[in-house]
Amino acid sequence: MSTPFNFYVRVARQYTRIGWVRKSQFRWEFVNQVVMDCLYYLSFLLTFQILYGLRDDLTLAGWTRDDIRVFLGMAFVTDAFMMTWLGQSWHFGDDLKAGNLDAFRLRPGPVWFTYSFQRFSPEGLTNMLVAVGLLTYGLVRHPAIGAADLWLVPLAFAVAFTAQAALVVLLQGLEFWAVNADLSRFFSQIFTQISDRPLDVYPRGVKRFFIWAVPIGALAWFPAGVLVGRHGALFVLGYACLIALFAVAAGRLFARGMRRYESAMS
């Protein structure tokens, strides 16, 4: 019998509460991390501002300055989701080596959820507010987006967050086959670097790979494209279904990988 939905809600609520309890003890860390992420956003905004400022008529593979504002807002929102809920994934390699998954194997609930979502981050939530603010600014400034299009925002968020969680679970799953390799951290960084630019800037083969095979396009390119009207309705529906399937496949791979878990012997 699969785990009921209210299990996820109850546990997530507790993880949220614990995240706030933790952060109340480390206020300096809270402030630091908010500033750190704001610097990250700023470096991107400045870079694109400089690039588009080189000449007035420039685009990035058809993405105008207005489009890029929305794109960056969406990229930041997805990154903030990762920070808010999936921060524990950075420690997965170390925890795997140290045998720290034992307790999660024993407890009810899928390990991919009880482990990956345990580190709720209030500073991530704060950055989410900043990111949503930037996205809102981009949406408001965009000449082609009106109030009638706002219903697309929840769809964009749903696809992006599902893809982000699925990607994290997939990379963690891969780590079972190469302990000590820090694969999840390495690929996570690479995928972030790639997905933080519109996929249209890459050669066709690379673009297709990251849309269909390893769908990091769902992190920012697809949802931003939905919001600025770059994708047709059929593609939107089909891709959303693909992301759902991808999430299921990632979970299966992780479950497979648990069979290889050796647990450090105490």
Partner 1 sequence: MVSAPREVALAARGVRKVFRTYERQKGWRGVLGNFVRRDWQDIVALDGIDLAVRRGERVGLIGANGAGKTTLVKVLTGIVPATSGEATLLGRSSFDLGDAEKRRLALVMGQKSQLWWDLPPLDSFRLLKEVYGIPTREFEARVAEFSAMLTVEDKLGIQLRQLSLGQRMKMELIGAFLHAPEIVFLDEPTIGLDLVSRETIREFLVRLGRERGITMVLTSHDMEDIEDTCERLVILDKGRVLYDGELVELARRVSGKRAVEVHVAPQHALDEARLAEAIAAHGAELAGRTALALTVLVPAEQLTPLMRVLFEIVPVRDLSVERQPLELLVKELYRGGAIPTAAANPSSTTFPSPDHGPEEPTPEEPAP
Partner 2 sequence: MTASQDPARRTFWPLLRQATAYELRKQVAFRVGFVVRELGHGLVEPLVMLCVFWALYRSAGEGAVLRGWTFPELVQYVAGLLVVRKAMFHNRALDLSTQIFEGRVTKYLVMPMDYFVLAVARFTQYTLLQLGIGALTWTIGALVAPEHWLFPVSFGACAGALTLLLLGSWCCFLVYYILNALAFWLDVVWSLLVMVWFVISFAGGALLPVSQMPPVVFRVLEYGFPYWTISAPIEVLMGRLAAADVARGLAILAVTAALLEAVRRVVWRRGLARYGGAGM
Interaction of residue 95 with partner 2, rule CB under 8 A: no
Residue of 1, 5, 6, 28 that binds partner 2 (CB under 8 A): 28
Interaction of residue 186 with partner 2, rule CB under 8 A: yes
Which lies closer to partner 2 via its Cβ, residue 53 or residue 133?
53
Report the partner that residue 178 touches, choosing among partner 2, partner 1, none (CB closer than 5 to 8 A by kind). Answer: partner 2
25 or 193: CB nearest partner 1: 25
Residue 109 interacts with, from partner 1, partner 2, none (CB under 5-8 Å by kind): partner 1
Q: Which residues pair with 63 in a beta bridge?
A: 60
Nearest approach in angstroms of CB 95 to partner 1 is 12
CB of 20 to partner 1, least distance (A): 11
The residues in 93-122 that bind partner 1, with binding defined as CB under 8 A, are 99-100, 102-103, 105-109, 114
| Residue 1 engages partner 1 in binding (rule: CB under 8 A) | yes
The answer to the question of residue 39 lying near partner 2 (CB under 8 A) is: yes
DSSP letter string, the chain? -PPPHHHHHHHHHHHHHHHHHHHHH-HHHHHHHHHHHHHHHHHHHHHHHHHHHT-TT--BTTB-HHHHHHHHHHHHHHHHHHHHH-GGGGGHHHHHHHTTTHHHHHSSS-HHHHHHT----HHHHHHHHHHHHHHHHHHHH-TT--GGGTTHHHHHHHHHHHHHHHHHHHHHHHHTTSTTS-HHHHHHHHHHHHHTS-GGGS-HHHHHIIIIIS-GGGTTHHHHHHHHT-S-HHHHHHHHHHHHHHHHHHHHHHHHHHTT------
Q: Which of 111, 125, 131, 183 binds partner 2 (CB under 8 A)?
A: 183
* Residues 199 and 212: beta-carbon distance below 8 Å: no
Instruction: Check residue 208 for interaction with partner 1 (CB under 8 A).
Output: no
Find out whether 207 and 235 touch, Cβ atoms under 8 Å. Answer: no
Contact footprint for partner 1 (CB under 8 A): 1, 3, 7, 10-11, 13-15, 17-18, 21-22, 25, 99-100, 102-103, 105-109, 114, 259, 261-263, 265-266
Contact footprint for partner 2 (CB under 8 A): 26, 28-29, 32-33, 35-36, 39-40, 43, 46-47, 50-51, 53-55, 57-61, 178, 180-183, 186, 190, 193-194, 197, 200-203, 206
